[in-house]
Amino acid sequence: MDSLSRHLDDDAKEESPAAVTDAASGQTCHLAAGVVVALTTVTLVTVLLLSLWLCGFGTAPKVDQASTTSAMEQLQECRRERHDLTLMLHAVTQDSRCTLCPEGWLWWRRHCYFFSVGREDNRQWSESAEFCRQHNSSLAVIKDAAEMEFIQGVMRTFPKFPFLWVGLTDSRQEGQWLWWDGTDIQRYMPVTVEWDADHRDCADLRGGGSLFAADCEEYGPWACKRES
């Protein structure tokens, strides 16, 4: 139980400077990508409007030669800018620092999720929690029905997925189930843990959104969660 408690207390520690730097780098890359996308969109709209104006929606525009030449030059310039912005966008999106989630993780609603099924051998609850901690995440804390349905949907894609370790335990005080972030089980959703007993201090998620108390020494798959 002391080992499990130490894992729960890890959340109170500050992130390392490296983690903060990585997060700032990711935010910068996301911002850069957003700027490039916005500029590309504006350019494409400009090119489209110029094309429609020059073509006159299928009719020959009645303008003098000088005006036509000027418009064509502007159109060519827009095309060159669009090409340059396309290259910039490609370069930004190829930067590994700008991906929303690490390779092998799933993105959903500003968070990244790792499901160990098919990727890692089954582990005990504390070992699963340690894996998540090493990957700047924690065992999944499920905060609403939509997130529960998302995780259930992933579980249904695997033919054999009996249960999934999540970040819920009563190791600190028997019968008081707390999520990994220290909040009471009822804080986010009106759920209960079935089969609660003195020797079952870790919760697993099963089909239908059911949570069951289990022996923390059992081996099984797990889900990690982190901000993207």
pLDDT of 11 = 42
pLDDT bucket at 68, cuts 50 / 70 / 90:
confident
How far apart CA 99 and CA 223 sit, in angstroms, is 20
- What is residue 48's DSSP assignment? H
Look at strands 178-179 and 202-206 and give their pairing.
unpaired
Domain extents in the chain: 17-98, 101-227
Residues 2-56 have pLDDT tens digits of 443 444 344 433 333 333 334 334 444 444 445 444 544 555 545 445 544 544 4
CA angle (196, 197, 200) in 5-degree steps? 85
Residues 121-176 have pLDDT tens digits of 999 999 999 999 999 999 999 999 999 999 999 999 987 778 999 999 999 999 99
pLDDT bucket at 111, cuts 50 / 70 / 90:
very high
pLDDT bucket at 178, cuts 50 / 70 / 90:
very high
How far apart CA 22 and CA 17 sit, in angstroms, is 9
The architecture of the domain spanning 101-227 is Roll (3.10)
pLDDT of 143 = 96
